[in-house]
Amino acid sequence: MFEYALAALLQAQASGLPMHRIANIFKPLATPAESEYHIAVFVLAITGAIFVVVGALIISTLIRFRRRSDDNSHQEPPQVYGSNQIEVAWTVIPILIVFVLIGVSARVIAGVENASPPASTLHITLIGHQWWWEVEYPDFKLITANEIHVPASPDGKTATYLNLQSMDVIHSFWVPQLSGKTDLIPNRTNYTWIDPREPGIYLGNCAEYCGTQHANMLLRVIAHKPDDFEKWAAEQQKPAEDDPQLSEARAAFESLACVNCHAVRGTAAVGKVGPDLTHLMSRQTIGAGVLTNTPEHLRAWVNDPQQAKPGCMMPSMKLTSPQLDQVVSYLESLK
Amino acid sequence: MASIDYPLEHPRIKGREFSFSETLYKWVATVDHKRLGLMYITSALLFLVIAGLMASAMRIQLAVPNNHFVGPETFNRLFTMHGTTMVFLVGMPIVAGFSNYLVPLMIGARDMAFPRLNAFGFWMFLFGGLLLYYSYFGGGGLSGAGSAPDVGWFAYAPLTSSAFSRGHATDYWALGILAAGIGTVASAINVIATTLCLRCPGMTLRKMPMFVWVMLIDSWMILLAFPPLTAAQVMLELDRYLGANFFNTQAGGSAVLWQHYFWIFGHPEVYILIFPAFAIVSEVIPIFSRKPLFGRPAMVGAVVAIGFISMGVWAHHMFAVGMTSWANTFFAASSMLVGVPTGIKIFNWTATMYGGKIRFATPMMFCCAFLLQFLVAGLTGIMLAVTPFDWQLHDSYFVVAHFHFTLIGGLVFGVFAGIYYWFPKAIGRMLSEKLGKWHFWLFCIGFNMTFIPLHFAGMLGMPRRVYTYAPGRGWEVWNLIASIGVLFQAAGILCFIWNVVRSSIKGEIAGDDPWDGWTLEWGTSSPPPEYNFEKLPVARSSRPLWDLKHPQDPDWKYE
Amino acid sequence: MAASIAVPPSAAALESHWKMPDRGMIGIIFLIVTETVLFSMFVIAYLIYIGKSLTGPYPKDVLDIPVVATICLLSSSLTIVFAEHALKHNHLGRFKLWWTATILLGLEFLTATGLEWRELIYKDHLTISTNLFGTTFYSLVGLHASHVIVGLTFLLLVMIVTLLGFPIQTQLRRVLFLSWYWHFVDAVWVIVFTVVYVIGR
């Protein structure tokens, strides 16, 4: 387990972007998460105060009115039946507190849900599959998988709007430091928005139980400096690398069943069932986050995905060793 | 002290041993509310142990990251069966068991209004439970896929459609719970009819014990909340077997419709579950503080208010679904409002203790822990009701911590208080105080050790229903502490089981009224005869035995 | 202070004035309450999915207003009132007559429903799986029909024991509660009819 952490850390350093491993909701780094953070602190303060006051009342009552061990009389204490004034008081005060909370909530709900996109907005369509994320960039005519690259917005003037859809069951998009969660529901398009303040790698999870490998449907949002984002998009728009030295490997890949599920732009592989592999090696992880993208992991994954992610939709194709060598060497060329 | 009636002979016929088959028949064919009540509670406790073992397996798996104690399929079945068992096969029979045992005794009746319906309800519940567990064997189906259900206890569509849930696992979930639910509704009708029709002379509705009031409103909620679940499950089975399209998004159906229907049931259901704890605590705290329940009319009003408002809060489970801001605000408002009557109850219980002479016997200790733990649970509930905060906390371990605080910290602690309090009445012997205190402290420490840290795991981004997690996310330490807490809880439960077994055989004889009680059940023998009271009592106040014991200062002068 | 013993209200007075509602009546009322909620869920599903079917057949194409069936079912509520009235006044002959009429009217309703479904399935090719209309139609009307069947079963039971000589007039209360159930089934039909054949078409 330690090796996962180490490998990921090294990868992060390689990309030059800081990795936000701890997705603390109290360390927001985008506007929606920040609004949610402010109201969270407000609510925590109020409920904390209530806890202290009421808790102290309960504990002090228990201590003060305990039966003394030297009390042997069968005298019952004064039988008090109730008090209308007290009842009114402790009904009205909580109702007032609740009204304050309702008012504040209404404001923040509207602020987050009904926010209008700023002038410079990137639109992404995120489609949930059992157990990976399809990421489309309609403006760039790009389809990738599992990593969501966006431009950072230090001045708050850029944002990324995500249209959320699902191919199968209900999933949920949750990257805590960027925003609260929104579900991906089949036959329905939800939307959410993020504007990461700083460049970096933000971690998240699918947050609606979606079957066997829900736990390994991980999210990475990679926020670049705006120029770097343009560079990344341009790189991704290129069709797959075609290294003449790997033409045999490429032919092997195209002749196997891989192409039924996966797409590699610029080749005969146009499958839509699994993630787009055109620039597989530009991604930091495999299998929606379950393994880091290293040569050994890639080989192990292609050989038998069920080892790392049992129950996932990609079967072991039972490739022979030479076939495996060829497929993996071809995949490793898809930078 | 005078009891209302004195039975002419001990209920057990002396000198005659019953054969095994006679004893079995006595229990299987019984329509006596006391036997059925004990059967309900015993079944609930058995299922509690089974589901608790499932939880222990899950906590072992989650104690460290990337663990291999159980695989994903097994884990997913574990959390589904754990949740379904705890809600439907522990919580609901607790409701039925406590109300069926105590309501007739407390209102001075001889049995429930419909004794045979009572038996029907119990056996339907047991059948449903066994059907659910049969899935471990029968869930394979023709395609060989599946054993126990693995769709989560709330079984969202379209994960439950035949396309994504192959085999029969989901069907066992739907049909088992449907059957058990029919038993529950039968029991609820029975409690309402008993309460409205069989009260002894003088016991107007206003003079009913608080316990009976709470269980009456509980039954009313069951009548309103269970049909949506039944309807949704029927619709799901129609979808799975007859190709209906209720939740089939390909035909234009709505996956969200399931969520609405389920939570229209599901939210009142959690109040249905907690009400027995409210009922028990409302009886135990006054007795061990030696004061009447403070603000009885307000308490009744609060319970009725919770009963109503809780019907209108369901979509706070759906804040992430993408409803309009109007809908989100409405449900946030109603969810926060339902916290007000709940808070009022906590204040009234505290005021009952204030100025009293508190005796810290085991039932009272469980009540004290209940008060503090339920306070925490209610406050985390308010946090979850604030929609923008919920957008972060929803479907995370924070929610898991919240509802375990309500259900274990609230319900289970309340149930233990009730068992320690009424075991002497039902069995005729006292439970050991010493073992009781061990049980309490071990369980209390273990429970808090497990569930307090899980709040933090949730706030650090740990989602629910994950069979494993990667290291380096900040979740390891909280999960480890949580898993260690399980050991203490298990030790506490073992003390409890040992206490029950040993005290049933060798416990101190209880007598009619070991706690110096004030309600009618303490006015008959322990255990009560089959006919409950030799002569039906007459009630002049809500504390009939107080009136008898304090003839110079009876309650009916003040009520 | 003087230990005065207060004089309690007399037990005999309390006992003699004590009147509680009939448990059978409470039972049937709350059964009807819970069944109402159950029907409401299917009605709501029907209403939500009106106009949402992606393919045909559509309601206005295939639904004919079931006039005769409705008249029969609603009249059966009237005949059961007459039957119960006859029983109350000990006119057993008249009771049997009106009770039989109720059963026959109920059977006619079921037959008409069955014939309507046969036409819908075989001629119009509308089944529960065809589209959202089929799903919600068959489930709602079917749920109602199943309750008619249960009601008819109990009505037949009463008829049979009466014919076998059982003194049914001693069970006036229970016959009354059964008639309430029957009225409930009819009232539900009014709602189902309005939702399916009026609003939904």
Whether A185 sits inside 8 A of B255 (CB atoms) is yes
Q: Taking CA atoms, what residue in C is nearest to B262? A: C41
**Per-residue confidence (pLDDT) for residue A70, from 0 to 100:** 82
**Per-residue confidence (pLDDT) for residue B19, from 0 to 100:** 83
Which of A36, A170, A207 comes nearest B255 by C-beta?
A: A170
Whether C48 sits inside 8 A of B226 (CB atoms) is no
Average pLDDT over residues C98-120: 97
Which residues of C are less than 8 Å from B196 in CB distance? Answer: 20-21, 23, 26
Task: Tell which of A21, A26, A205 to mutate to test the B interface (max B CBs under 10 Å).
Answer: A205
Which residues of B are less than 8 Å from C134 in CB distance? Answer: 244-245
Q: Residue C177's domain is classified under what CATH number?
A: 1.20.120.80
**Structure-token pair, residue B196:** 């409205």
**Per-residue confidence (pLDDT) for residue B1, from 0 to 100:** 37
Does A123 contact chain B (CB < 8 Å)? no
Average pLDDT over residues A171-194: 96
Average pLDDT over residues B473-484: 97
Residue type, B168: H
Whether B322 sits inside 8 A of A183 (CB atoms) is yes
- pLDDT tens for B305-341 read 999 999 999 999 999 999 999 999 999 999 999 999 9
Does B120 contact chain C (CB < 8 Å)? no
Of C30, C31, C32, C24, nearest to C173 by C-alpha is: C24
Q: Which residues contact C112 (CB under 8 A, 6 or more apart)?
A: C66, C68, C69, C72
- pLDDT tens for C28-81 read 999 999 999 999 999 999 999 999 999 989 999 999 999 999 999 999 999 999
Distance CA C65, CA C59 (A): 11
**Per-residue confidence (pLDDT) for residue C10, from 0 to 100:** 81
The rounded mean pLDDT for chain C is: 93
Whether C37 sits inside 8 A of B252 (CB atoms) is no
Distance CA B414, CA B386 (A): 28
pLDDT level of residue A132 (50, 70, 90 thresholds): very high
DSSP structural state of residue B85: I
CB-count exposure of residue A119 (10 Å: 0-12, 13-18, 19+): exposed
The DSSP-derived string for C124-159 is S---TTTSHHHHHHHHHHHHHHHHHHHHHHHHHHHH
Average pLDDT over residues B344-368: 97
**Number of domains forming the structure of chain C:** 1
**Structure-token pair, residue B187:** 């029991």
Which of B353, B388, B469 comes nearest A109 by C-beta?
A: B388
Whether A215 sits inside 8 A of B467 (CB atoms) is yes
Answer yes or no: is pLDDT of C146 > 60.
Answer: yes
The rounded mean pLDDT for chain B is: 94
Which residues of B are less than 8 Å from A164 in CB distance? Answer: 322
Q: Taking CA atoms, what residue in A is nearest to B151? A: A211
Answer yes or no: is pLDDT of C186 > 60.
Answer: yes
- pLDDT tens for A11-65 read 555 567 899 999 999 999 999 999 999 999 999 999 999 999 999 999 999 999 9
Average pLDDT over residues B48-74: 96
Answer yes or no: is pLDDT of B9 > 70.
Answer: no
Look at strands A158-166 and A120-129 and give their pairing.
parallel
Cα→Cα distances B286→A24, B280, B295, B406, Å: 44, 11, 12, 22
Chain B contacts in chain A segment 233-262 (CB below 8 A): none
**Per-residue confidence (pLDDT) for residue B145, from 0 to 100:** 56
Does B196 contact chain C (CB < 8 Å)? yes
Domain spans, chain B: 23-557
Which of B227, B252, B557 comes nearest C37 by C-beta?
A: B227
ipTM above 0.90, yes or no: yes
Answer yes or no: is pLDDT of A4 > 70.
Answer: no
Terminal C-alpha separation, chain B? 23
Strands of chain C, DSSP E: none
Answer yes or no: is pLDDT of B359 > 60.
Answer: yes
Whether C5 sits inside 8 A of B552 (CB atoms) is yes
Chain B contacts in chain A segment 284-323 (CB below 8 A): 289, 310-311
Whether C34 sits inside 8 A of B224 (CB atoms) is yes
Whether A209 sits inside 8 A of B297 (CB atoms) is no
Whether B357 sits inside 8 A of A23 (CB atoms) is no
Distance CA C119, CA B433 (A): 72
Answer yes or no: is pLDDT of B11 > 70.
Answer: no
CB-count exposure of residue B46 (10 Å: 0-12, 13-18, 19+): middle
Distance CA B349, CA B246 (A): 46
How many angstroms away from the CA of C164 is the closest CA of chain B? 26
Instruction: Tell me which residue has tokens 């038993």.
Output: B183
Task: Tell which of A113, A191, A284 to mutate to test the B interface (max B CBs under 10 Å).
Answer: A113
How many angstroms away from the CA of B418 is the closest CA of chain C? 28
How many angstroms away from the CA of C111 is the closest CA of chain B? 23
Is domain A120-237 in CATH 3.90.1520.10, yes or no?
no
Terminal C-alpha separation, chain A? 27
Of B346, B296, B542, B209, nearest to A82 by C-alpha is: B296
Cα→Cα distances B234→B189, B240, C185, Å: 22, 10, 20
pLDDT level of residue C4 (50, 70, 90 thresholds): low
**Structure-token pair, residue A149:** 């690259």
A-C interface (Cβ pairs under 8 Å ≥ 3):
no
How many angstroms away from the CA of C101 is the closest CA of chain B? 31
CA atoms within 13 A on the CB side of B307: 20
Q: Which residue has the higher pLDDT, B352 or B146?
A: B352
Does B257 contact chain C (CB < 8 Å)? yes
**Structure-token pair, residue B138:** 């029968």
**Per-residue confidence (pLDDT) for residue B5, from 0 to 100:** 44
Is domain B23-557 in CATH 1.10.260.40, yes or no?
no
Range of the domain at C133: 24-199
Fold of A244-331: Immunoglobulin-like (2.60.40)
Spatial contact of C141 and C113, defined as CB atoms under 8 Å apart: yes
Residue C13 neighbours by CB distance under 10 Å? 12
Look at strands A218-224 and A200-206 and give their pairing.
antiparallel
Decide: helix, strand or coil at residue B521. helix
Spatial contact of B352 and A82, defined as CB atoms under 8 Å apart: no
- pLDDT tens for B432-457 read 999 999 999 999 999 999 999 999 99
Of B296, B307, B95, B104, nearest to B197 by C-alpha is: B104
**Per-residue confidence (pLDDT) for residue A229, from 0 to 100:** 95
- pLDDT tens for C23-42 read 999 999 999 999 999 999 99
Spatial contact of B377 and B405, defined as CB atoms under 8 Å apart: yes
How many angstroms away from the CA of B402 is the closest CA of chain C? 30
Q: Taking CA atoms, what residue in B is nearest to A104? A: B386
Cα→Cα distances B247→A168, B252, B520, C140, Å: 12, 8, 51, 16
Distance CA B273, CA B266 (A): 10
Which residues of B are less than 8 Å from A59 in CB distance? Answer: 372
Task: Tell which of C19, C22, C30, C137 to mutate to test the B interface (max B CBs under 10 Å).
Answer: C30
Answer yes or no: is pLDDT of A328 > 70.
Answer: yes
Distance CA B55, CA B227 (A): 29
The DSSP-derived string for B250-289 is GGT--HHHHHHHHHHHHHHHHHHHHHHHHHHHHHHHHHHH
Distance CA B376, CA C165 (A): 65
Of B95, B216, B88, nearest to B153 by C-alpha is: B88
**Structure-token pair, residue B97:** 């068991």
Does B114 contact chain C (CB < 8 Å)? yes
Task: Tell which of B62, B359, B386 to mutate to test the A interface (max A CBs under 10 Å).
Answer: B386
B70-84 burial code (b ≥16 CB/10 A, e <16) = bebbbbbbbbbbbbb
SS3 sequence of chain A:
CHHHHHHHHHHHHHHCCCEECCCCCCCCCCHHHHHHHHHHHHHHHHHHHHHHHHHHHHHHHHHHCECCCCCCCCCCCCCCCCCHHHHHHHHHHHHHHHHHHHHHHHHHHHHHHCCCCCCEEEEEEEEEECCEEEEEECCCCEEEECEEEEECCCCCCEEEEEEEEECCCCEEEEECCCEEEEEECCCCCEEEEECCCCCEEEEEEECCCCCCCHHHCEEEEEEECHHHHHHHHHHHHCCCCCCHHHHHHHHHHHHCCHHHHCECCCCCCECCCCCCCCCHHHCCEECCCCEECCHHHHHHHHHCHHHHCCCCCCCCCCCCHHHHHHHHHHHCCCC
Chain C residues with CB under 8 Å of a chain B CB are 3-6, 8-9, 11, 14-15, 18, 20-23, 26-27, 30-31, 33-35, 37-38, 40-42, 45, 48-49, 52-54, 127-129, 131-132, 134-136, 138-139
Which of B197, B199, B244 comes nearest C22 by C-beta?
A: B197
Distance CA C136, CA C142 (A): 10
Q: Taking CA atoms, what residue in A is nearest to B67? A: A1
Global pTM value: 0.94
pLDDT level of residue C21 (50, 70, 90 thresholds): very high
Answer yes or no: is pLDDT of B14 > 90.
Answer: no
Distance CA A199, CA A18 (A): 7
Whether B353 sits inside 8 A of A65 (CB atoms) is yes
Query: Is the bond preceding B158 in cis, omega lying within 30 degrees of 0?
Result: yes
A124: left (phi over 0), alpha (psi -120 to 50) or beta: beta
Residue extent(s) of CATH 2.60.40.420 domains in chain A? 120-237, 244-331
**In this complex, how many residue pairs, one in chain B and one in chain C, have their CB atoms less than 8 Å apart?**
124
DSSP structural state of residue B215: H
Distance CA B222, CA B177 (A): 14
Share of residues in chain B with pLDDT > 70 (%): 96
How many angstroms away from the CA of B4 is the closest CA of chain A? 21
With DSSP H G I counted as helix, E B as strand and the rest as coil, what are the percentages for chain B, rounded to 5? 70, 0, 30
Of C150, C168, C65, nearest to C106 by C-alpha is: C150
- How many helices (H) does chain C have, and how many strands (E)? 7, 0
Spatial contact of B503 and B432, defined as CB atoms under 8 Å apart: yes
Alpha helices in B433-553 (DSSP H): 433-459, 476-506, 544-549
A184, A185, A190, A195: CA torsion to nearest 10: 0
Does A44 contact chain B (CB < 8 Å)? yes
Does A212 contact chain B (CB < 8 Å)? yes
Spatial contact of B493 and B52, defined as CB atoms under 8 Å apart: yes
- pLDDT tens for B190-210 read 999 999 999 999 999 999 999
**Per-residue confidence (pLDDT) for residue B7, from 0 to 100:** 44
